[in-house]
Amino acid sequence: MYAVIETGGKQYRVREGDVVEVELLGAEPGAEITFDRVLAVGGEGSFRPGAPVVKDAAVTARVLGQVRGKKIIVFRYKAKANERRKTGHRQNLTRVLITGVGTGERPAAAAPEEAEEHGA
């Protein structure tokens, strides 16, 4: 099962066990976090798009640590003005391990068994 989540203005397709680098989150390493902006859920021949998000769906993850992204070189140049400026940028990122994809649905086969257990 996979999900499309939105965090930091970007969208990521994740499944359980994936390690993803997302925009910086204010969480300590080892903390459990929940992404509740799930845009779509799919897998095993089914697909549930959100409008704009899937109701009652959530993706849980564990923070592995804070990292820095690849350096991006920015070069500004103006012709005939002897103006040149070279700068770089490294984005701060949070590395997370996806621990679960929850759809908010109960499987149809599980519903009657739970009713029998509770004496209904």
- pLDDT computed for residue 106 by the predictor: 54
- pLDDT computed for residue 118 by the predictor: 53
Quote the pTM value: 0.76
Which structural domain range is residue 88 located in?
Answer: 2-117
In this structure, are residues 13 and 2 in contact, taking their beta carbons and an 8 Å threshold? yes
pLDDT in tens, 55-101: 989 999 999 999 999 999 999 999 999 999 999 999 999 999 999 99
Q: In angstroms, how far apart are the furthest CA atoms of the chain?
A: 85
Q: Of 72, 66, 73, 70, nearest to 93 (Cα)?
A: 66
pLDDT in tens, 18-46: 999 999 999 999 999 999 999 999 988 88
How many structural domains compose the chain? 1
Over 70: is that where the pLDDT of 112 sits?
no
User: Token pair for residue 20?
Assistant: 């993803």
